[in-house]
């Protein structure tokens, strides 16, 4: 069986560009509210040597799109996988998400939104190559087949794609193509090693922080200790005296206020120069957050009257979190009077290119934004204000004598803002005599991430930001009455891996576990009852994790206990069954069994890696010291010695199992994170009888 699909609008122009010979194919699907336009750049290049290069229109920062998207093209193209390569696409209209209308990476949408788009690219290229071969052999295209980068014709005639590319380039792009049925897939669904693995494991991969230009200088910026503060006075004499320092300039800081940039021949000289600056900061006009005071205020806002029939009353606390990717923020800016080029690992190319143009005083067409491979992000590189790029352009303008690379130190990164907001939840639950929930009063207090962003009109409804509430009562049949407070604070906030679900799932899954205990029910059976027949994918993921873990059947080692949680986001569901212990008062996670329902698994290896990484990241939120706190407006943490992240010795054994499906894929970048911490907490309760109400964990 084959499925015929057509584009939503006619292809009005061939997207061909000649580049050292070969076929280059590019087209753009129409976006709601925006007229279709021919793509100015290409998605696919087939070279005379048979190399197939696929342009990846997302940021690769560990999630695997550098392999998954080329797999989609290669499947329909019938390419020789050993000849497939990938490159990250620059900012451009052709690379805008076909559903969102902006070029971006986030919300676990890359594979889900590109599934049909990239397959059609491969199918169109294949059809054109077949047509070129058929014309050469004077046979009907229907008499030809393809395999491993070769067109095969009647009588066993063969032609490699590279030899046909130039001829295929001259043919029209077909408006209608047939896509393979899932049962015919040869590449999709098969565990596939990552195209970037060798370069990254050998140290040859060039990340944004590695990029350089001839004559380039390096800058570091002294940013105000309190967000929005300004420079009252500056003494830069000692900084200027350091060998290698070429300039010291005051600039507008990306996160507000003013900063001082030290520009030097290299990073170390620039950092030494910054350390030598004598700056008197004017903080009088900005609010100075204190974490203790904020927590008291949040708890007061959440303190709504309890239900008359309350059986469970709980207050949960979640701190600010820094993203802390391995590669801190950085970018290179080459600014001229009539053009600007930027190299950086960015998630929101559309917003970033626009922000650079505005900061540089240039037209959008005068700005080239090159997407660089990035060493992690977890949301930090998806800032709609483009704070780091705008600040970098400000530095380049103030310097004015050539390209500049701006590098943030680890301390800059952790103190630099755009944190996961702090939250307080207060929940009062009423149970009847059968242990069924008859009332659930839920209050959330936390800053609204979407306020002031281009997403505000979509994500904030009736004053409530969905980036605060996502994951509440979306799966279980519960009578939830939800109240939300969005206080303001002088702290830039941003989505952090798992969006709202990284705190809402903890509340929901630990409380459902608590309700099950109060009802005298098994926590797995109780979840199945609440999920009913309206959430079959949740049930399938949960059942798979339970079955593979041996829950309820296997005898655990002495001192260990089971913990269970299941949560859905980005269209996918992840269920965890964990084994944990408490050793000398310290919780220890030993084993994690994951049941995953993400529909069609394009690359099972990437899904396994995403879940493993999410487990480690989520485990980090439970460890002592995993919190950003403020005193007198200043961030108290500065590096990994006082801001805890999980390390390899913390990593449990993780088994990942995927529910089979042929339905179009859903997202997997984030869904693995939210249910891990509650599953761990539920296991700790089984061992200690103590319900954990905050992250990071506190057993005392």
For the chain, domain boundaries: 2-202, 208-285+329-407, 423-688
For residue 483, the model assigns a pLDDT of 96
Distance CA 416, CA 418 (A): 7
- 38-67 pLDDT, tens per residue? 332 379 999 999 999 999 999 999 999 999
- Answer yes or no: is pLDDT of 29 > 70: no
Q: Name the DSSP letter for residue 652.
A: P
Nearest to 444 by CA among 471, 417, 414, 419: 471
Say if strands 572-583 and 586-597 run parallel, antiparallel, or are unpaired: antiparallel
- Answer yes or no: is pLDDT of 435 > 90: no
For residue 303, the model assigns a pLDDT of 93
Long-range contacts of the stretch 290-296 (C-beta < 8 A, 24+):
290/630, 290/631, 290/632, 290/633, 291/319, 291/320, 291/422, 291/629, 291/630, 291/631, 294/422, 294/489, 294/630, 295/422, 295/424
For residue 419, the model assigns a pLDDT of 98
- Of 169-178, 188-197, 372-381, 623-632, the one with minimum mean pLDDT is 169-178
Q: What value does the mean pLDDT take over residues 278-295?
A: 97
- State the pLDDT confidence band at 362, using cuts at 50, 70 and 90: very high
- 509-534 pLDDT, tens per residue? 999 999 999 999 999 999 999 999 99
Q: What value does the mean pLDDT take over residues 200-221?
A: 97
- Answer yes or no: is pLDDT of 17 > 70: no
The share of the chain scoring above pLDDT 90, in percent, equals 91
For residue 26, the model assigns a pLDDT of 53
CATH of domain 423-688: 3.30.365.10
Query: In what side-by-side order are the strands of the sheet with 653-658?
Result: 560-569, 572-583, 586-597, 653-658
Asked if the domains at 2-202 and 208-285+329-407 fall in one CATH topology, the answer is: yes
Cβ atoms of 618 and 676 within 8 Å: the answer is: yes
For residue 22, the model assigns a pLDDT of 65
For residue 538, the model assigns a pLDDT of 98
Distance CA 503, CA 567 (A): 12
CATH of domain 2-202: 3.30.365.10
**CA dihedral over 565, 566, 570, 572, signed as positive or negative:** positive
Cβ atoms of 471 and 505 within 8 Å: the answer is: yes
- Answer yes or no: is pLDDT of 490 > 70: yes
- Answer yes or no: is pLDDT of 661 > 70: yes
CA atoms within 13 A on the CB side of 196: 24
Nearest to 107 by CA among 95, 99, 119: 99
- 383-425 pLDDT, tens per residue? 999 999 999 999 999 999 999 999 999 999 999 999 999 999 9
Q: Name the DSSP letter for residue 207.
A: B
- Answer yes or no: is pLDDT of 634 > 80: yes
- Of 165-179, 256-270, 363-377, the one with minimum mean pLDDT is 165-179
Neighbours of 65 (CB within 10 A): 25
**CA dihedral over 556, 558, 560, 564, signed as positive or negative:** positive
For residue 683, the model assigns a pLDDT of 98
CATH of domain 208-285+329-407: 3.30.365.10
The share of the chain scoring above pLDDT 70, in percent, equals 94
Distance CA 353, CA 367 (A): 7
Q: What value does the mean pLDDT take over residues 652-661?
A: 98
Distance CA 161, CA 133 (A): 9
- Of 297-311, 436-450, 542-556, the one with minimum mean pLDDT is 297-311
For residue 434, the model assigns a pLDDT of 87
The average confidence (pLDDT) of the chain is: 93
- 325-337 pLDDT, tens per residue? 999 999 999 999 9
């Amino acid at each position: 069986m084959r499925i015929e699909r057509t584009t939503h609008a006619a292809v009005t122009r061939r997207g061909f560009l000649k580049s050292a010979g070969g076929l280059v194919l590019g087209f753009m699907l129409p976006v709601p509210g925006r007229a279709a336009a021919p793509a100015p750049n290409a998605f696919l290049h087939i070279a005379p040597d048979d190399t197939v290069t696929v342009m990846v229109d997302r940021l690769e920062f560990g999630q695997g799109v550098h392999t998954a998207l080329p797999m989609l093209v290669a499947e329909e193209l019938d390419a020789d996988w050993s000849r497939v390569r990938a490159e990250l696409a620059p900012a451009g209209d052709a690379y805008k998400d076909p559903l969102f209308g902006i070029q971006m990476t986030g919300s676990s949408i890359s594979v889900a939104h590109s599934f049909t788009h990239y397959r059609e690219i491969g199918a169109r290229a294949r059809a054109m190559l077949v047509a070129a071969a058929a014309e050469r052999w004077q046979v009907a295209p229907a008499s030809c087949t393809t395999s491993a980068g070769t067109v095969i014709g009647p009588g066993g005639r063969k032609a490699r794609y590279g030899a046909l590319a130039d001829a295929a380039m001259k043919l029209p792009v077909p408006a209608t193509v047939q896509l393979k049925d899932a049962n015919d897939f040869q590449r999709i669904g098969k565990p596939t090693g990552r195209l970037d693995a060798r370069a990254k494991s050998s140290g040859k991969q060039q990340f944004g922080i590695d990029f350089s230009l001839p004559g380039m200088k390096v800058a570091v910026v002294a940013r105000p200790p309190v967000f929005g503060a300004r420079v009252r006075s500056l003494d830069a004499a000692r900084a200027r005296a350091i060998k290698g320092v070429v300039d010291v300039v005051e600039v507008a800081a990306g996160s507000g206020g003013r900063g001082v940039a030290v520009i030097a021949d290299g990073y170390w000289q620039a950092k030494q120069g910054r350390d030598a600056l004598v700056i008197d900061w004017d903080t009088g006009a900005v609010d100075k957050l204190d974490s203790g005071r904020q927590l008291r205020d949040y708890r007061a806002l959440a303190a709504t009257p309890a239900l008359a029939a309350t059986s469970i009353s709980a207050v949960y606390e979640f701190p600010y979190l820094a993203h802390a990717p391995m590669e801190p923020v950085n970018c290179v800016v080459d600014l001229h009077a009539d053009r600007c080029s930027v190299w950086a690992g960015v998630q929101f190319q559309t917003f970033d290119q626009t922000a650079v143009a505005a900061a540089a005083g240039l037209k959008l067409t005068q700005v080239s934004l090159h997407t660089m491979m990035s060493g992690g992000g977890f949301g930090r590189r998806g800032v709609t204000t483009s704070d780091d790029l705008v600040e970098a352009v400000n530095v380049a303008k103030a310097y004015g004598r050539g390209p500049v690379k701006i590098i943030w130190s680890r301390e800059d990164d952790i103190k630099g803002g755009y944190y996961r907001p702090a939250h307080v939840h207060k929940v009062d639950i009423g149970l009847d005599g059968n242990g069924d929930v008859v009332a659930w009063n839920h209050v959330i207090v936390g800053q609204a991430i979407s306020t002031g962003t281009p997403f505000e009109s979509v994500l904030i409804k009736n004053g409530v930001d969905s980036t605060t509430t996502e994951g509440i009562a979306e799966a279980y049949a519960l009578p939830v009455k939800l109240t939300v407070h969005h206080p303001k604070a002088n702290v830039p906030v941003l989505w952090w891996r798992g969006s709202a679900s990284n705190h809402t799932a903890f509340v929901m899954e630990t409380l459902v576990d608590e309700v099950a205990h109060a009802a005298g029910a098994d926590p797995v059976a109780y979840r199945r009852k609440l999920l009913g027949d309206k959430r079959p994918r949740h049930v399938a993921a949960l059942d798979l994790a339970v079955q593979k873990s041996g829950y309820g059947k296997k005898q655990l080692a002495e001192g260990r206990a089971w913990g269970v949680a299941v949560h859905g986001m980005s269209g996918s569901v992840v269920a965890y069954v964990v084994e944990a212990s408490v050793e000398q008062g310290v919780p220890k996670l030993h084993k994690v069994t994951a049941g995953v329902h993400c529909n069609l698994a394009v690359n099972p290896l990437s899904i396994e890696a995403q879940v493993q990484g999410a487990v480690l990241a989520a485990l980090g939120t439970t460890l002592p010291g995993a919190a950003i706190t403020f005193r007198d407006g200043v961030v108290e943490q500065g590096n990994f010695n006082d801001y805890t992240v999980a390390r390899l010795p913390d990593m449990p054994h993780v088994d990942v199992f995927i529910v089979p499906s042929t339905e179009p894929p859903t997202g997997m970048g984030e869904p693995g994170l939210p249910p891990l911490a509650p599953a761990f907490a539920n296991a700790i309760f089984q061992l200690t009888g103590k319900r954990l109400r905050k992250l990071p964990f506190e057993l005392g």
